[in-house]
Structure 1
Amino acid sequence: MSAAPARRGRDGADTRARIEAVALELFAQKGVAGTSVRDIALGVGVSEGALYRHFPSKEKLARELFLTRYATLAAEICAIDAGERELERKLRAVVGLACALFDAEPALFAYLLIHQHEHLGTVPDAPEANVVEAVAQMLRGAGVPEARVTLASALALGCVVQPAVFALYGRINAPLMAQAPEIAAAVLGIVEAALKG
């Protein structure tokens, strides 16, 4: 008797995970506006009503996908910051993390990149939930003066994001991980300049 609720719970979690995976692919390909609830439901193989039992609207689904995935990435950056002692190793690990994410889940990376402007205003300021703040915290901890942290963070992130954009559009050959050493060297140069400047 008690096995049935557990099974339903597991099935519900599986359906929710499938909805998120299909939505992510569609949002990355067609944009949120270009994707209908029907498109997502068809991709998952459920009714639109079943989809609404998991997410009240397409917009809420898009927001939750962004915030949870963005927070996961931020938390991983914070873990690298806490786990590594040397700045160069931290930066190389963060670049490796971003490149590996791009190679493993290009739709997720594309979604985070392309739709960030729609959601960044709702991202919490805590470094564990905010990639920009996680990078800024790392740079502060390395001794980058507060007056230079914002620009150095922007430049460092740009060194990672722009090659990913080029890879998305076929201007840089995948895997992006093959470019990680050069990207990390560029990021290190930016941070070293901010430390000296």
Structure 2
Amino acid sequence: MNAPRRTPSRGGVRRGRDGADTRARIEAVALELFAGKGVAGTSVRDIAQGVGVSEGALYRHFASKEELARELFLTRYAALAAEICAIDDREPDLASRLAAVVARACRLFDTEPALFAYLLIHQHEHLGSVPEGPEENVVEAVARLMRRAGVPAARAGLVGAMALGCVVQPAVFALYGRIEGPLSTQADAIARAVTAIVEGAGKP
């Protein structure tokens, strides 16, 4: 018996290398625009023109601008959470774990400022859609690190928030030019501050 012939699909996400390349370009352009102009201030036409495709071609990859914004946030946020979990599992002690996490955050700011800004500025719009597991949730990944460092579970969330603040606030100052040079040059100082907070929180 011959296998039934498959009818070519109409619409939907393009497959193959060209489709994947186009999707990657859409995501890269959208990220820059969303970080600079906000999601509300960016139109589908803006994204399509930046990529060099028609609006119809963009819709073959993403059903809406909102879906694109959510996909960008969730995938990048999950990737960062997974890196934090990997550092937590790999590094031998608290100081080295915190130093590695801070270094990664600073490097992200320096090398992918649009991504850092997007995750920072738009987190409140998407956090409700983030899974609870630490491998996909930065806040939970940091809280897990805190608990494994001996911070009481009841205080892990607060301590994690303070630790994140030590990284995020310098990044905000750097965004507005109030801290000069790459943020990575401040990583050691930030890591020491975070370590002091976490060690202090573990004391009775």
> What range describes the TM-score normalised by the shorter chain of this pair?
over 0.9
Q: TM-score, normalised by structure 2?
A: 0.92
Structure with the largest fraction of helix: 1
Deviation at 1:79, TM superposition (A): 0.3
| 1:128 lines up with 2:144 in the alignment | no
2:163 matched to which residue of 1?
156
CA deviation map 1:52-82 (0-9, x unaligned): 0000000000000000000000000000001
Quote the RMSD (CA, aligned, Å): 1.1
| 1:34 lines up with 2:41 in the alignment | yes
Q: Which runs of 5+ in 1 are unaligned?
A: 1-6
Deviation at 1:174, TM superposition (A): 3.0
Deviation at 1:22, TM superposition (A): 0.1
- 1:135–1:35 Cα change, 3 Å: same
TM superposition outliers: structure 1 runs of 4+ over 6 Å = none
- 1:68–1:8 Cα change, 3 Å: closer
**Matched letter for residue 163 of structure 2:** A
Distance across 2 between alignment mates of 1:150 and 1:108: 24
Distance across 1 between alignment mates of 2:36 and 2:49: 16
CA deviation map 1:100-129 (0-9, x unaligned): 000000000000000001001111110000
Contact 1:103 1:174 in 2 (8 A): no
Q: TM-score, normalised by structure 1?
A: 0.95
Give aligned pairs, total: 191
Distance across 2 between alignment mates of 1:150 and 1:142: 13
**Range with greater deviation from structure 2 (33-42 or 141-150):** 141-150
Distance across 2 between alignment mates of 1:174 and 1:158: 20
1:99 matched to which residue of 2?
106
Instruction: Name which one, 1 or 2, has greater alpha-carbon Rg.
Output: 2
Q: Which runs of 5+ in 2 are unaligned?
A: 1-13
Q: How does 1:78-117 map to 2 (within 5 A)?
A: 78-117=85-124
Q: How does 1:62-81 map to 2 (within 5 A)?
A: 62-81=69-88
